[in-house]
Structure 1
Amino acid sequence: MTLEIVPDPAASAATGAGVPDEAYEVDVPYEPDAELVAAVEKFEDRFLDRELSWLRFNERVLAPAEDPTMPLLERVRSLAFVSSNLDEFFMVRVAGLKRRIAAGLAVRAASGLMPREVLEQIWDLAHALSVRQAEVFRDEIVPALAEEHIELVRWDDLDREEQKACKRLFKDRIYPVLTPLAVDPAHPFPYISGLSLNLAVVLRNPTTGKEHFARVKVPPIFDRFVPVGPSSSSGARFVPLEDVIGAHLKRLFPGMDVLESHMFRVTRNEDLEVEEDDAENLLAALEKELLRRRFGPPVRLEVEETISDSVLDLLVSELGVATEEVFRLPGPLDLRGLHSIADLSREELKHPAFVPTTHLRLAEVESSKPVDVFKAARRHDVLLHHPYDSFATSVQRFIEQAAADPQVLAIKQTLYRTSGDSPIIDALVDAAEAGKQVLVIVEIKARFDEEANIRWARKLEHAGCHVVYGLVGLKTHCKAALVVRDEPDGIRRYTHIGTGNYNSKTARTYEDLGLITTDEAIGEDVAHLFNNLSGWSRDPEYHQLLVAPNSVRSGLIAQIHREIAHHEAGRSSGIRIKANSIVDEAVVDALYLASQEGVRVELMVRGICALRPGVPGLSENITVRSVLGRFLEHSRVFWFDNGGEPNAWLGSADLMHRNLDRRVEVLVRLPDEESVGAIRELLDLAFAHDTFAWELGSDGVWTRNEGTVHLQEALIEGQRRRRSSS
């Protein structure tokens, strides 16, 4: 007897993604009865709020900046990341909450909170986090940088010669770019673009004594922190660009008295809404929507704490923001610009240099020619772990060799995000120009990468690639590449499925997993996937893949139920999941049920977690960890003990509604025991009691354990040992 696989409610026939029952066959089936389901559902507060969990995640991102044992410039970069993350949170999540409230669609969240209640808690947490970030910068980071002769100073701290140099810079380069905008009956309050830095200037006409208001935008084309004097390995001084502009406002308003000037910054709703059904050309529709994005309603106003009440009242009134949406902070605002400081050539203030190495199965032999990836893949599957295994000498080389190989007939690939000078794009262009069949599924709706993806789509089309923009209503988020090769013994498919984007730059800093294989069942499934995405194929099932929106949720729940069946039958059981976010209520409830039935569940979640671990009677057998380090933990792994014969899946899907219901996602079942064993070793290290991590309590608060082993450093050291012994 087999478990019944029930399709997801939101499943779309567009992907044709079914799950064969035989993939989940067990000796003792498990079908939870109504009483057991009710035992889970009686815990009405069993879900943590996803938005508040996201803010808790950024508290963890801020923690390295507060840690004096961290390399100094890494602490600086953490501050910049917090700013970027908060910007996106307000542009998307807070804007969405406000939009639902305004539209009268304010339904209660799974956490039990109404959107207005969530917003109230967001203001409290976000205000506290923003102030904490600003104070860490002012009170800890700036003094620590000064001790290392990297001085971030304000205008009044500059000596006479430095101010003269800035005056020349202003006259020669900055002044010609500035456009002061007056506010009076003939000049309405100007539109303030999202995330721009601005000076609010109060002027007085010395003849009439009348006061006026003006706005000056800080040009984003210049470096945020202006070097003062020559920089060297021994030291450097920087002043914020807005200070230089503020000191020379008289040049912009000759004949007027400058009474006040204050910095402010507006965050706007910048989420995208594109009605694909009504658009003849999705590219044109998206380009139009990107233009509209600049005029979204404001969701946050940041001002320096020194701003006068009168100027703040004017901004609040003209911008239409609520009092709680005002963030009054120690300056300077917008610490994203600290990335340029973190990039300074002071290697002693950063993590030790790390250079990825070529995977042992793809390592060069005693020859000047690179390893033939096809020959290596025919011998054995290659399980890649980036950035420890080089992306350039594995995935990138795989596509480049396919483009150049005369035996390759076709290349099919998905692209969600890619780098600005992408060698992957160049290889696909070369392949098309060489006459190969090239199909590229470009997701042009990848948030905040839309404009770049439009450019790549056009470039690929002009080169002769078949470019498809996915399926109506779904984002194509899966990471898959298929190479079809004509070989002496017939056509062979080479497949890569990964957890990360085909981006050579982020592959150096994102932790991801990938599989290169010639497994026929996987190749057949991926071929069907591409046919489903590009044409009208409606293949009813996949044998080695779970594909959202049809079968990822139901397939994983079936796997969880199978572990319960193994446990009840007295066999070994256990569930380990590593993901960026775990939110989906159906999967969380299945994990709760497994815990209640005695199955050990270990979760590693980088970001949002709505599951509440350690609740008596509900989740005593569930632990949740989070690891943040020099690399962004990004891989998604699903490991099941399976009665002592483990299986593991990896792929693109996080356990969130958008991934399971509104995206094309793929999980692949690892086809060989060696790969499954490698995943087990990785998870053993990640969940070891002495591995340093954040641990989630039942109250939704994260605390640091006392572990002495750092996961990423241990993996780096393991890579170095393998390199030295090879």
Structure 2
Amino acid sequence: MPRIKPRTKKPVEDILLTDPQYYFNRELSWIEFNARVLQEGMNPRTPLLERLKFLAIFSHNLDEYFMVRVAGLKQQVEAGVHRRSPDGRTPSEQLQDIRDRLLPLIAKQHHHFQASLRPQLAKHGIYISNYETLQSEQRAYLRRYFEEHLFPVLTPLAVDPSHPFPYISNLSLNLAVVVRDPDSQHENFARVKVPSLLPRFVPLPVALWVLPNGRTATWVGVPIEQVVAHNLETLFPGMQIQACYPFRITRNADLDVEEDEAGDLLQAIEQELRKRRYGGSVVRLEVQSSMPDAMRQTLIEEMGIGQDDVYDIEGLLSLGHVMSLVDLPRSDLRDPPWSPVAHPRLRRLSDSSMAFRGEGEDDFFAVIRRQDVLLHHPYQSFSSSVQRFIHQAAHDPNVLTIKMTLYRTSGDSPIVESLIAAAENGKQVAVLVELKARFDEANNISWARKLEEAGVHVVYGLVGLKTHTKLVLVVRQEENQIRRYVHIGTGNYNPKTARLYTDVGLLSCRDALGADLTDLFNFLTGYSRQQTYRKLMVAPVNLRDRLLALIQREAQHSREGKHARIVAKLNALVEPGIIRALYEASQAGVEIDLVVRGMCCLRPGVKGVSDRIRVISVVGRFLEHSRILYFHNGGQEEVYIGSADWMPRNLDRRVEVMTPVEDEQLAKDLQEILGILLADNYNAWELKPDGRYVQRRAHGRSSVLKAQSVLMELAAKQSDSGANRS
């Protein structure tokens, strides 16, 4: 990223806060986040198989980045768009800068895998072997494997005047093959697609683990494309195999749905999914660096791309597939296992039967009535809290209605099963399923149909908006009154990601929150145009204005000589208007700490602009996903949680919710979480004014503080103390 241009000091009133030099580029900032992921894969302090995991995540992240972000920039260039980003770059300039930054990162990833991780894995008995190094018995086994499992499903496709160049599917691994006719000596090009439904690494049986120096093996396998490549003569009998090189393409995979013209949104999304699979322009071609120029040029011309869309790879293509090796039975090479603990106030509930037990100590609703409950995943169990809450609501005879938003959930979701059970039990169940949740569209369509078949009222959201908020509303008859219970969270209702992502959630039966959620669901499912809410900040209705007002309030407090402080934990900070407000607050004297996991377009530490703003990113074993906001407010502290990052799409094109946490103790708990993250000197990276991220290290006598480990210990201690009190 470019460094700040030297400039003379100006009075605050003369500093133009829209100047591009005060903003980092969104796309390049994302690459810097992925570079931090890669660094975890290269960090010797990280257990070996965890390093392999981070290398795989780096590759998966890049795939999605090209399919969506790079594809979007290329579309802008093709459409002749020259509008500059807040940092002053045109789309074409961004594409060039992206390539310039990615080339060394990709080279670093593959070199580290080849030169460091593979040898270290081998020392621990995990061998990703090359076909050329195998012994005769091992090759004979793989020959039989090829004949029995691969040959029947492979389809060699010739390219000649009577056979046009075949369609290459997105993210598929392929072999470009040159064969020679021994009679005519004429060379022909062919393509062989490597089967994606078979394991990328073919394991050898234990009996064939012939290892040097009598070493003990945990696993021995060979990349599947090498097995295919060394048995090509079976696919081309009578021909001479001249050359064979792997390649892989990435296509534009962003959905383009004209909702105003889509009479049936579900059907329209299904059609777009087929286009994603079978269509979309090529945005990246990955080839083995040793591929000859002539073969490379053939692929470039047939794909309709330029030289800058080609990425040379040293070694194996598509390292995302090494994720399949992370779960090998070597716990000594992974992080210590962590099992989420029961929330101390819900521990007795989690230990009892999942069946509804009525009022009393085992009644979930009684716990919430006594006091709001703050949940922190994956430190605290999702299944014994959120999942249990929805399950009990589904089976409680006093519950009348359940309303919920579903953005992403797992393929075998117990929550969806509870919603179906609720409908079968005669309750009114309404679920907003977001069909446009990127790369989860097919899964959500499947669940939407299953819910509809069970009698659940399924809504697909609002035209032009994604419903990203995470909400549950349960309406319950209690004696002579109706009471509403709510869950407002930062993470998806997905029990699998709840074990991997850090998220917080609030369970409450406060009247104002229940009334707000009732109004919001009417907005989502009906024709309501609710513009005011009692407690909630809702996008795109009032969230942007409320956030700006909260930041400006801190600035005013500082001008009045009061202590002023803002702490925000986010996934991304991109919105220029919010960034300008933060700059103005810093100029006014507000101390600002930002914990931004991914993209951050704000430039901290610039004299006269952002002197009082500090930014860190925490990248650890769990994906930091929670959004927590703190405002000092002249001593009347306010804390908010919710689903929204500070990005244009979250504020303008999505339905998002941020809720205040009004229970004083729970607000202190959230402040403690923020404090622990800010003190991290193990997984935290500091963003410098020039755009570099520098990893923190403990110095001198200071002890290592690893925030996620501290939060695990804290959760375990709290759960144990709750058990002792019960």
TM tier relative to shorter chain: over 0.9
2:315 to 331, 346, 350: 331
1:289 to 272, 279, 283: 272
Cα distance between partner residues in 1 of 2:514 and 2:104 = 51
**CA pair 638-166 structure 1, distance change in 2 beyond 3 A:** same
**CA pair 367-346 structure 1, distance change in 2 beyond 3 A:** closer
Give the equivalent residue in structure 2 for 1:81.
57
Cα distance between partner residues in 1 of 2:385 and 2:101 = 43
Cα distance between partner residues in 2 of 1:487 and 1:57 = 49
Cα distance between partner residues in 2 of 1:637 and 1:676 = 10
Contact 1:571 1:644 in 2 (8 A): no
Cα distance between partner residues in 2 of 1:43 and 1:211 = 58
Contact 2:107 2:313 in 1 (8 A): yes
Q: How does 1:214-363 map to 2 (within 5 A)?
A: 214-230=190-206, 234-293=217-276, 294-363=278-347
Contact 2:350 2:384 in 1 (8 A): no
Give the equivalent residue in structure 2 for 1:11.
none
Aligned pairs, number = 692
Q: Are 1:673 and 2:680 matched, yes or no? A: no
Contact 2:174 2:246 in 1 (8 A): yes
Give the equivalent residue in structure 2 for 1:721.
717
Cα distance between partner residues in 2 of 1:421 and 1:608 = 32
Give the equivalent residue in structure 1 for 2:548.
557
Match for 2:190: what amino acid? A
Cα distance between partner residues in 2 of 1:352 and 1:463 = 41
Contact 2:680 2:706 in 1 (8 A): no
Q: Deviations over 1:267-304 (max 9, x none)?
A: 11111100011111011111111111231111111011
Per the TM alignment, residue 40 of structure 1 is displaced from its structure 2 partner at its CA by: 4.5
Per the TM alignment, residue 434 of structure 1 is displaced from its structure 2 partner at its CA by: 1.1
Q: How does 1:352-431 map to 2 (within 5 A)?
A: 352-364=336-348, 368-369=352-353, 371-431=362-422
Give the equivalent residue in structure 1 for 2:92.
116
Give the equivalent residue in structure 2 for 1:4.
none
Per the TM alignment, residue 154 of structure 1 is displaced from its structure 2 partner at its CA by: 1.0
Q: Secondary structure at the match of 1:360?
A: coil
> What is the CA RMSD across the aligned residues, in angstroms?
1.5
Cα distance between partner residues in 2 of 1:190 and 1:103 = 27
Q: Deviations over 1:202-255 (max 9, x none)?
A: 000111111000000011000111111239994211100100111110111111
Contact 1:40 1:589 in 2 (8 A): no
Match for 1:710: what amino acid? K
Per the TM alignment, residue 510 of structure 1 is displaced from its structure 2 partner at its CA by: 0.4
Contact 1:499 1:651 in 2 (8 A): yes
TM-score, normalised by the number of residues in structure 1 = 0.94
Give the equivalent residue in structure 2 for 1:105.
81
Cα distance between partner residues in 1 of 2:521 and 2:640 = 20
Q: Deviations over 1:420-454 (max 9, x none)?
A: 10001000011111110000000001000111110
Match for 2:203: what amino acid? P
**CA pair 42-405 structure 1, distance change in 2 beyond 3 A:** closer
Q: Are 1:534 and 2:513 matched, yes or no? A: no
Cα distance between partner residues in 2 of 1:689 and 1:306 = 43
Q: How does 1:448-597 map to 2 (within 5 A)?
A: 448-597=439-588
Structure 2: segments with no counterpart, 5+ residues: 1-10, 210-215, 355-361, 699-703
Cα distance between partner residues in 2 of 1:417 and 1:598 = 40
Per the TM alignment, residue 368 of structure 1 is displaced from its structure 2 partner at its CA by: 3.8
Give the equivalent residue in structure 2 for 1:72.
48
- Which has the higher mean CA deviation after the structures are superposed, 50-59 or 223-232? 223-232
Q: Secondary structure at the match of 1:201?
A: strand
Cα distance between partner residues in 2 of 1:406 and 1:339 = 45
Give the equivalent residue in structure 1 for 2:677.
686
Give the equivalent residue in structure 2 for 1:169.
145
Over the matched positions of the two proteins, sequence identity in percent amounts to: 49
Contact 1:40 1:593 in 2 (8 A): no
Q: Secondary structure at the match of 1:331?
A: coil
Cα distance between partner residues in 1 of 2:329 and 2:507 = 36
Q: How does 1:151-190 map to 2 (within 5 A)?
A: 151-190=127-166
Q: Are 1:60 and 2:36 matched, yes or no? A: yes
Per the TM alignment, residue 571 of structure 1 is displaced from its structure 2 partner at its CA by: 2.2
Q: How does 1:604-683 map to 2 (within 5 A)?
A: 604-683=595-674
Structure 1: segments with no counterpart, 5+ residues: 1-34
Per the TM alignment, residue 39 of structure 1 is displaced from its structure 2 partner at its CA by: 3.2
Give the equivalent residue in structure 2 for 1:705.
696
Contact 1:37 1:593 in 2 (8 A): no
Q: Deviations over 1:625-647 (max 9, x none)?
A: 00011100000111101111211
Q: Deviations over 1:158-210 (max 9, x none)?
A: 11111111111111111111111100001000111110000000000111111
Contact 1:441 1:469 in 2 (8 A): yes
Contact 1:40 1:618 in 2 (8 A): no
Q: Secondary structure at the match of 2:568?
A: strand
Q: Secondary structure at the match of 2:206?
A: coil
Cα distance between partner residues in 2 of 1:353 and 1:469 = 38
Q: Secondary structure at the match of 2:432?
A: strand
Cα distance between partner residues in 2 of 1:260 and 1:66 = 33
- Which has the higher mean CA deviation after the structures are superposed, 364-373 or 344-353? 364-373
Runs of 4+ in 1 over 4 A off after TM superposition: 35-38, 231-234, 689-692
1:192 to 168, 187, 190: 168
Per the TM alignment, residue 691 of structure 1 is displaced from its structure 2 partner at its CA by: 6.1
Contact 1:500 1:635 in 2 (8 A): yes
**CA pair 296-689 structure 1, distance change in 2 beyond 3 A:** closer
Q: Deviations over 1:132-179 (max 9, x none)?
A: 111110011000000001001111111111111111111111111111
Match for 2:660: what amino acid? R
Contact 1:162 1:229 in 2 (8 A): no
Per the TM alignment, residue 42 of structure 1 is displaced from its structure 2 partner at its CA by: 6.2
Match for 1:278: what amino acid? E
TM-score, normalised by the number of residues in structure 2 = 0.94
Per the TM alignment, residue 365 of structure 1 is displaced from its structure 2 partner at its CA by: 6.6
Cα distance between partner residues in 1 of 2:351 and 2:261 = 56
Q: Secondary structure at the match of 2:77?
A: helix
Give the equivalent residue in structure 2 for 1:135.
111
Per the TM alignment, residue 104 of structure 1 is displaced from its structure 2 partner at its CA by: 1.5
Q: Are 1:446 and 2:429 matched, yes or no? A: no
**CA pair 523-36 structure 1, distance change in 2 beyond 3 A:** farther
Cα distance between partner residues in 1 of 2:592 and 2:166 = 55
Give the equivalent residue in structure 2 for 1:3.
none
Contact 2:41 2:51 in 1 (8 A): yes
Cα distance between partner residues in 1 of 2:158 and 2:693 = 48
